[in-house]
Amino acid sequence: MYYAIAVLTIIVCILLVLIVLVQNSKGGGLAANFASSNQVMGVRKTTDFLEKGTWVLAIALLVLSMLASITIPRTEEAKASAMQKQISNAIDPAQGPNIPTQAPDQNAPQPK
């Protein structure tokens, strides 16, 4: 379910970007191309359609984001805190390997 919502969110984002890019803040944009009066959708109806489409896609993005946050797959392992994981996976220093802290003496006789 989460992946379906994620795909729908990506599609809505792409459509929202395209609709916003088609609009022109000064009233031009896509509506300026349909200036003739014999069109089925006039200039005013085109801008109304683009504005309503922007609002619908913005609301759809908001709803899909909320649904995605609800349906995120969660497991018991993910619920444990990161600090608790580090504590449980920590190695006891007394059980670690014995690493020498000093360099060997160069004058000591070498075993043969």
* Residue-wise pLDDT tens digits, 69-88: 988 877 666 666 777 877 87
Looking at residue 96, its pLDDT comes to: 65
For the full predicted model, state whether its pTM sits above 0.75.
no
Looking at residue 106, its pLDDT comes to: 74
Decide: 34 and 46 in contact? Cβ < 8 Å: yes
- Identify the residue with better confidence: 111 or 12: 12
* Residue-wise pLDDT tens digits, 15-65: 999 998 888 766 555 555 555 544 555 556 777 888 889 999 999 999 999
> For the chain, how many residues are written?
112
Residue 72 neighbours by CB under 8 Å, 6+ apart: 2
